[in-house]
Structure 1
Amino acid sequence: MTEPSPASLLGPRPPAPWLGEWWPRLRPWVLTTLAMLLAGAVALALQGLLREVRYADVMAAMHATPPSDIAFALLATAASYLALAGYDASALVYAGARVGRSTVLLTSFVAYALANTIGLGPLTGGAVRMRLYAAAGLAPPQIARVIAFNAAAFTLGITAFGALGLLWGADDVASLLHTRPGGLRAGAAVLLLALAVFLVLCLRQRTLNVGPRWTLRLPSAGLALRQLVISALELGASAAALWFLLPDDRIALPTFMAFYAIAITAGILSHVPGGVGVFEAVMLLASGAHVPTEAMLGALLLYRGLYYVLPLVLATALLASYELRSGVAAPVGRLAVRLSPRLMAALTLVAGLWLLVSGVTPVTEDARQILAALDLPLPLIEASHFLGSVAGLGLLLVARGLLHRLDAAWWAALVLAVVAAVLALPKGIALHEAALLSTLALLLLISRRQFDRRSSLFAQRLEPGWLLALGGVIAACVWVLFFAYQEVAYSNRLWWQFELDAHAPRSLRALMGVALIGLAFGLWQLLRPPAGGAAPATAEEIARAAAVVRSSPSSDGCYALVGDKHLLFSPSGRSFLMFGKQGRSWVSLFGPMGDAREWPDLVWRFVELAAAHGGRAAFYQVRPVALPLYLDCGLQAFKLGEHAHVTLPDFDLKGAKRANLRSGVNRGEREGLSFEVLPPAAVGAALPELHAVSDAWLGQQKSREKGFSVGRFDERYLQQLPVAVVRREGRIIAFANLLATDAKDEASIDLMRHLPESPPGTMDFLFAKIMLYLQAQGYQRFGLGMSPMAGMAERRRAPRWQRLGRLLFEHGERFYNFRGLHRFKDKFEPVWEARYLAAPGGVAPLFVLVDVAALIGGGVKGVIAK
């Protein structure tokens, strides 16, 4: 079965009437444009710094680096990453948590290897810590304290590190900034004094008031001192890793460390991934009077490879090695394997960038001589060069799909990596390039099972940030091209020169091909028909959903048959999710239904569809077992209450708690009530009587029909499911439609209505008879529905959300009968299971719940009017 066309799923999209609707769509473009402007400013700065530098001199400086210096740089890199594990160790002590040493080392290394490459350390590294430390048994508040401690510790460490370096090298820094050394030393002394005051506060008191409502728990003085030492060791080692790569007459290490601290801070504040360009610009500017520019640039390129790329490769290989171990038992090991797609996506980005830069730079003289000696056909060399650059662009494009664990992206990345690795040899004997691509292909093969989301790669829509970043990469390649061939005079004839030594023409053609393909892809993404706003499900889609629901073990999918929700199907059509849209909230009810293997991709598609329309995605009443699906998308879980179900094989009418139910059955039989289940084919004939009962019930309740998570009296809907009825003297006086599937695993009811003049205990009679009937039919569970705000934590340190829910449950009877509903369901001695709202953090859950109430009530007016 093919995926439905967008037109069948979505209708025309109404224009946004005010800026509030437009801003979510404009924000990614605005923020990314600002980032591109910053990158342009950095490029101009580098252009000025490198005006007199030649590409050949930079390559010569790199190749002249002694192996012993590279070995020392590697040792410093290892020492730096080992010291980074001390950040996590101190943070765990601060959070009052105990975790195995191997888990700390693994988490720290993976988190920093990813964060150093991608940037945004608290987010990228924090996501790794959230997953691995949660698997190790830490509670979310403890993990949040670990992440916050790491960020604060780095800030304090870089402050102390920079201040000490500034005290030593104030004269050199002053000449660079055109200021007086005394002022810089005074500023450094003030920073160190502030750190001393902080340590005194840690010694004398454990909490610090921040404003009228917030308190900050300070670490102990011993822990703070220990962390400052760890920070000094880590930053000193990372600075030494670059310092060892400089020429022998290198700048003094303390002065260099001051420059390094300034460059690192500038790179972090720029929010550019890895601080690329910003860090280099500051270091080139700062060391211009001490180190030749070409030597510094060569050292910076080597440093990027040793301190950033190599740890990323090792971290990816480390996680992939868990994949080779059959049946990893430890929860941390199993979850570490699930993190490998993130590192694989980052490594794919690095490989793609490497190929693009390689395509716009000349081969080495040694490689040229080997190619000439091998006498390879010139068309093969030309084609290898061109196709290698195109493969680099392809790797950049599929990296996003790897991040989402798409199987199509895995196949594309594997093919591109293998092809580019083979082409690296005739292209220019690029052995390092071939080694990186071969490693990427091998790691992809090892991690195959992690890319299990079946989806069409071309169905994915790239966000504005990706498209602008792609344009920025191509623009950077243009800059590198002109830097590498600044001595070659441009002429139209260059495009048609095909010679072994014609490096510039070859690079021009490769870059032009990449630019044209990138432009075509970007235009295709921008000019694709918009997905539009959500449209109601069609009769054909409801029929498709009904086929999925019939084979599903869960009866929740029956709510799709009401027809008041929108349906999003998987490409195969074997699974779907139903959702409603109110305001900016796109709310999926119960989450995906159908083939569980397709659920992750379906959840991602829904989140991306909502984001593409400036909306916020949320999932209402989801089960605990499905929470990882939503946490992987960056959503947070908020408990809504508890769902009750009765285990039918053990159900009977005995016991004190079921006395009212037993009494209702006995009274009903004395009153002459009879029970019957109408099959779907027989419901049509009874519709007039059912309609009369429904109208009378609504009139008595002074209510109106609801929707979304509650069914409504709809003739088409009722005729698709069995209806249980209670008759008196042949007349229907009460009914309930049954939500049941062919799997006979779970059943529940939706509409439950009766005539006002029905005998007392009629609904207890109906309830008991329905459960006995389902028990006889072989069903395993009977769902009683959710009890809102039930089961919230009573601890003083419980999350605020649960404390608010507990307050509503105990004192909110004026607004909703929370306790009464819970008591009614509890008399059936059910099994209680938590139900959650998966939504973005902050205040978004409150807005989502308001929108859910409007969906259920048929709009804001329906909520107010009951």
Structure 2
Amino acid sequence: MTTPTPTSLEAFGPAAGPRSRLARWLGPIVVFALVALALHALHGELGQYRTRDIVHALWSIPGERLLYALAFAVLAYAILPAYDWLALRYVGRELPMRRVAFGSVIAYGLSQTLGFSLFTGGAVRYRFWSAWGLSTAEITAAAGFASTTFLLGVVAIAGVVFLFEPRGTVALLHLPLVVVRGAGGLALLLVALYLLWSATRRAPLRIAAIEIAVPRFPTALRQLAIAAADWGVAGAVLYAILPANARPAYAPFLGAFLLAQFAGLVSHVPGGLGVFDALMVHLLAPYLGPHEAVGALLAYRLVYYFLPFVVAVMLLTGYEIRRRVPLRATADLATRWVPAIVPHALSLATFVAGAVLLFSGATPSVRSRVSLLDAWLPLGLIEASHVTASLTGAALLVVAWGIRRRLDVAYHLTLALLALGALMSLLKGLDWEEALILCAVAGALLPARDAFYRRTRLMNEPFTPQWIVAVATVVGASIWLGLLSFRRNPFSSGLLLRFATHADAARFLRATAFVVAALAIYALLRLLRGARPELAPVADPGELGEVRAIVASAPSTVANLALLGDKRLLFAESRRAFIMYGVAGRSWVALGDPVGPVAEHRELAWRFREEADRHDAWAVFYSISSASLPFCIDLGLSLIKLGETAIVPLEDFSLAGGSRKGLRRTLKEVEAEGGRFEVHEAGEVPRLLPELRRVSDEWLARKNTREKGFSIGYFDERYLASFPVAVVRVGDRIVAFANLWASAGREELSVDLMRHAADAPRGSMEFLVVQLMLWGREHGYRRFDLGMAPLSGVERRELGPMWARAGAWLYRHGEHFYNFQGLRQYKEKFDPLWEPRYLASPGGLALPRVLAGVSILISRGVRGVVAR
């Protein structure tokens, strides 16, 4: 008996070494450092100004200019769906423009507010596109195409401005004329080369094993037009806000705007926050005072970022409300895919609400409002309300993560915190604006109750480095804002104990001390929960006993693979359901759908994801059915269609008719050579094991292969003795065999190991399969699972080769009937129904390592991959 040990598989790579953990923290820390540098630069620029000067500059912007900016913002967001429309056309997907526009407005409204990676891990677009049926490769290609379009517009407009309007740009950027014109000429040359390439090249661009389809020349022209229009209008939003008598000409302004936006993008700071603003304040210094520039930038962010975000959240909220009433005119547009994005949008809204409270606590109150409160309320209540509001803001930053993770407790806690924050905002300074924002977020949360179904403690949820750094960034920014607001107040230890009606600096200092202390205590409590738990061992005999009872009631025969004993098990809290999985490097690979009552599947999948997160690993689901796709989308996983499983209905199965002539001939030929079919119950199998071992060893030697595992069984006497075995005998000698899997209620019948001796009659394996189907029909089984086959026809799709090869590659390692070479044409003989099977995993650069890990598990080690 040769059972693979966990160590042999984990040798592929540690789940997460120090270098891996450092790499996960490096990006967020760099973002934090860049924001800190940008705020430091702004602090220097605003040296002689106070927050009230910036607020005055903001409120002094005429309404007419804001209306112009709003009109340009609406036009800009009307252009943005064209990016996705063109990208989807590029990958051969023609979708209704209404659907594309709806998804784009939500995706861009959410992502441009604080960025993709910080809050959604780059999943906003993916969640829409995957729900519309796009494969991971198509999504990757479409996203890459959209990014290319985006950059093409930057390069083209910058080239035109730098080459044909260089003097204003020279004045703004303080660069030599020759450098600016040279950069413009180079930029336009790059655009021209791209257009020439698209006009002349027809063959796909190959980079390693990846094929990139070259866009046609008309498509490239559309890219240029869409991106140029987008950037031109986006710049006009800010330009419209600037005073007409104190701003540069539009062309040099647009060049500076593009430069600042590009710097913000390269920095990976969400929304370019701080980086873009610091550069624009510096570049506009010859025309505007720093406080006026910051006021204009605040108005720009309000119009171009915050309002679209509010619209996106309202669209999602409106959907949730419509979903609950009988007349749902637009529900068919988004029934399947909007719920998946709702928690992410509401998580972002909750985070923003927390930031609003912290920033409010770091800025001076409106004196007239506080004076009015002082006449009616005791000073102690006002002071306590200020601290409580800031603590509530910090709590919302933390609880927002639970909203993203769909926690039931986070939902109720967030509603309570929002109500408390709104009340405290009124009590601390009649800040009705902040209270209104918090009430709006609460209103968006209320109809989305069904999205928060996970009954898990918030303390059990592992935070990502990105989220931790995001919280630290907001808290740090609020401290910076407070220091800027009260820079003329002498800070001392005595200030903490100063209580007065208009002592805003003292209130800021106390609130900051409480917030920092509260977050530090929370972090310490999480650290004291202990080190990362040890990796669970493979299933022991006791667990296999529990599993056997669950498998006996499972409708799918694949659940029997849990009895192989080579996988780890994660049980539901009720112990009525489980996930079987293997570990290879950073990949935790769950095999098939969760086993047990369907009501337990979703929470169990989340627990699996959380356990993988705790070990700095990737949660992967291999060979899952369509029933598991909703929770995989909830988990933020990418989908690859591996193939389709052939299911043969047995109630009407027969050998009659012309299409079954070949099968009848096979039966006659094998029977003519003395072959006969028998089924032996599990209790009879031990006495057959020596003969079965002989047949198996002959088969392996003849195929020059070794045993596989994980998704298919291997010859293990304990495992084989757990099931009935079907055999083909010639005389008294066994020449072929297969172990039988039967599901609960005679729902499904299938086989695992199928092997034959060298001297078996020709066609013995087909004879065995046909006889099993006839036997299953006679014994009341409803269907026969013939196993998975690669997709047919995918090689004809423009983007098919990359993801089709990935699925076929895994299939070659993991197909039950691999002695038939996985020929789909063979299985078509039985007129099966085809059911899709998927791989759900992290996408992007993680995918190759995930595929390698799955292959290693199936091949029982690296050697098995190389040596068949």
TM-score by structure 2 length?
Answer: 0.85
Aligned-residue offset at 1:124: 7.0
2:48 to 52, 55, 79: 52
Paired residue secondary structure (1:594): coil
Aligned-residue offset at 1:693: 3.5
Structure 2 residue aligned with 1:85 = 81
2: CA distance between counterparts of 1:465 and 1:74?
Answer: 32
Paired residue secondary structure (1:291): coil
Tell whether 2:382 aligns with 1:385: no
Tell whether 2:118 aligns with 1:111: no
Q: CA, structure 1 residues 739+368, in 2 after alignment: closer, same or farther (shift >3 Å)? A: same
Structure 1 residue aligned with 2:151 = 155
Tell whether 2:664 aligns with 1:659: yes
CA displacement, residues 433-487 of structure 1 (integer Å, 9 cap, x when unaligned):
1111111111111222333445443221112232233223322222222112112
Aligned-residue offset at 1:88: 4.1
Which structure 2 residues correspond to residues 501-520 of structure 1 after superposition, within 5 A? 501-520=502-521
> When the two structures are aligned, how many residues end up with a matched partner?
843
Which residue identity lines up with residue 585 of structure 1 in the other structure?
Answer: S
Structure 1 residue aligned with 2:20 = 24
Structure 1 residue aligned with 2:276 = 279
Stretch deviating more after TM superposition (752-761 or 694-703)? 752-761
Which structure 2 residues correspond to residues 773-788 of structure 1 after superposition, within 5 A? 774-787=776-789
Which structure 2 residues correspond to residues 35-46 of structure 1 after superposition, within 5 A? 35-46=31-42
1: CA distance between counterparts of 2:727 and 2:212?
Answer: 60
Q: CA, structure 1 residues 723+185, in 2 after alignment: closer, same or farther (shift >3 Å)? A: closer
Structure 2 residue aligned with 1:302 = 299
Structure 2 residue aligned with 1:240 = 236
1:594 to 590, 593, 596: 596
CA displacement, residues 35-80 of structure 1 (integer Å, 9 cap, x when unaligned):
2222232232122112222122122222333333333332232222
Structure 1 residue aligned with 2:438 = 437
Q: CA, structure 1 residues 592+290, in 2 after alignment: closer, same or farther (shift >3 Å)? A: same
1: CA distance between counterparts of 2:118 and 2:50?
Answer: 38
Q: CA, structure 1 residues 191+664, in 2 after alignment: closer, same or farther (shift >3 Å)? A: closer
Structure 2 residue aligned with 1:325 = 322
Which structure 2 residues correspond to residues 92-491 of structure 1 after superposition, within 5 A? 98-120=94-116, 127-132=123-128, 146-166=142-162, 170-171=166-167, 173-175=169-171, 177-181=173-177, 183-185=179-181, 187-188=183-184, 190-192=186-188, 195=191, 205=200, 217-220=214-217, 228=224, 230-247=226-243, 249-254=245-250, 255-326=252-323, 330-332=332-334, 334-373=336-375, 375-491=376-492
Structure 1 residue aligned with 2:3 = none
Aligned-residue offset at 1:566: 0.5
Structure 2 residue aligned with 1:620 = 622
Aligned-residue offset at 1:347: 1.7
Larger RCO: Structure 1 or Structure 2 (Cα < 8 Å, ≥ 6 residues apart)?
2
Stretch deviating more after TM superposition (255-264 or 121-130)? 121-130
2: CA distance between counterparts of 1:759 and 1:241?
Answer: 79
Stretch deviating more after TM superposition (424-433 or 189-198)? 189-198
Contact 1:578/1:591 (8 A) holds in 2: no
Q: CA, structure 1 residues 224+544, in 2 after alignment: closer, same or farther (shift >3 Å)? A: same
2: CA distance between counterparts of 1:795 and 1:280?
Answer: 48
TM-score by structure 1 length?
Answer: 0.85
Which residue identity lines up with residue 557 of structure 2 in the other structure?
Answer: S
Contact 1:111/1:124 (8 A) holds in 2: no
Paired residue secondary structure (2:406): coil
1: CA distance between counterparts of 2:354 and 2:809?
Answer: 54
2: CA distance between counterparts of 1:209 and 1:852?
Answer: 29
Structure 2 residue aligned with 1:577 = 579
Contact 2:235/2:254 (8 A) holds in 1: yes
CA displacement, residues 355-390 of structure 1 (integer Å, 9 cap, x when unaligned):
1211222211232123124x1233332332222222
Contact 1:693/1:755 (8 A) holds in 2: no
1: CA distance between counterparts of 2:97 and 2:851?
Answer: 42
CA displacement, residues 115-149 of structure 1 (integer Å, 9 cap, x when unaligned):
21132599979854455456667787776565344
Aligned-residue offset at 1:519: 2.0
Paired residue secondary structure (1:649): coil
Contact 1:536/1:563 (8 A) holds in 2: yes
CA displacement, residues 183-211 of structure 1 (integer Å, 9 cap, x when unaligned):
43454355446546666776x64659979
Q: CA, structure 1 residues 837+229, in 2 after alignment: closer, same or farther (shift >3 Å)? A: closer
CA displacement, residues 805-827 of structure 1 (integer Å, 9 cap, x when unaligned):
779999xx9x9755476566555
Which segments of 5 or more consecutive residues in structure 1 lack a partner in the other structure? Answer: 1-9
CA displacement, residues 542-592 of structure 1 (integer Å, 9 cap, x when unaligned):
344344333332222221122221112344444321111234432221132
Which residue identity lines up with residue 700 of structure 1 in the other structure?
Answer: E
Which residue identity lines up with residue 277 of structure 1 in the other structure?
Answer: G
Q: CA, structure 1 residues 352+650, in 2 after alignment: closer, same or farther (shift >3 Å)? A: same
Which residue identity lines up with residue 487 of structure 1 in the other structure?
Answer: R
2: CA distance between counterparts of 1:83 and 1:723?
Answer: 64
Stretch deviating more after TM superposition (595-604 or 208-217)? 208-217
Paired residue secondary structure (2:518): helix
Contact 1:792/1:802 (8 A) holds in 2: no
2: CA distance between counterparts of 1:486 and 1:761?
Answer: 89
Which residue identity lines up with residue 296 of structure 1 in the other structure?
Answer: A
Stretch deviating more after TM superposition (287-296 or 129-138)? 129-138
Paired residue secondary structure (2:579): strand
Contact 1:22/1:614 (8 A) holds in 2: no
1: CA distance between counterparts of 2:123 and 2:670?
Answer: 55
1: CA distance between counterparts of 2:91 and 2:709?
Answer: 45
Stretch deviating more after TM superposition (171-180 or 354-363)? 171-180
Q: CA, structure 1 residues 622+19, in 2 after alignment: closer, same or farther (shift >3 Å)? A: closer
1: CA distance between counterparts of 2:282 and 2:603?
Answer: 47
1:554 to 552, 556, 574: 556
Aligned-residue offset at 1:106: 1.6
Q: CA, structure 1 residues 544+47, in 2 after alignment: closer, same or farther (shift >3 Å)? A: farther
Which residue identity lines up with residue 681 of structure 2 in the other structure?
Answer: V
2: CA distance between counterparts of 1:215 and 1:858?
Answer: 33
2: CA distance between counterparts of 1:19 and 1:547?
Answer: 32
1: CA distance between counterparts of 2:204 and 2:734?
Answer: 67
Aligned-residue offset at 1:30: 2.0
2: CA distance between counterparts of 1:705 and 1:96?
Answer: 41
Aligned-residue offset at 1:96: 6.2
Stretch deviating more after TM superposition (831-840 or 278-287)? 831-840
1: CA distance between counterparts of 2:189 and 2:728?
Answer: 82
Paired residue secondary structure (2:450): helix
Q: CA, structure 1 residues 461+645, in 2 after alignment: closer, same or farther (shift >3 Å)? A: same
Aligned-residue offset at 1:27: 0.8
Aligned-residue offset at 1:307: 1.7
CA displacement, residues 460-519 of structure 1 (integer Å, 9 cap, x when unaligned):
111223223322332222222211211221222222233332222222222222212222
Structure 1 residue aligned with 2:751 = 749
Paired residue secondary structure (2:788): strand
Contact 2:256/2:283 (8 A) holds in 1: yes
RMSD, aligned α-carbons: 4.3
Contact 2:10/2:584 (8 A) holds in 1: no
2: CA distance between counterparts of 1:86 and 1:258?
Answer: 23
2: CA distance between counterparts of 1:792 and 1:544?
Answer: 43
Paired residue secondary structure (1:35): helix
Which residue identity lines up with residue 285 of structure 2 in the other structure?
Answer: G
Aligned-residue offset at 1:21: 4.7
CA displacement, residues 776-813 of structure 1 (integer Å, 9 cap, x when unaligned):
554321223334x4636342633234368779999xx9
Stretch deviating more after TM superposition (333-342 or 103-112)? 333-342
Paired residue secondary structure (2:751): strand
Stretch deviating more after TM superposition (60-69 or 45-54)? 60-69
1:650 to 641, 649, 652: 652
1:709 to 698, 708, 711: 711
Structure 2 residue aligned with 1:6 = none
Which residue identity lines up with residue 474 of structure 2 in the other structure?
Answer: V
1:692 to 690, 693, 697: 690
Which residue identity lines up with residue 365 of structure 1 in the other structure?
Answer: R
Contact 2:670/2:761 (8 A) holds in 1: no
Contact 2:320/2:447 (8 A) holds in 1: yes
Paired residue secondary structure (2:298): helix
Q: CA, structure 1 residues 551+440, in 2 after alignment: closer, same or farther (shift >3 Å)? A: farther
2: CA distance between counterparts of 1:59 and 1:844?
Answer: 46
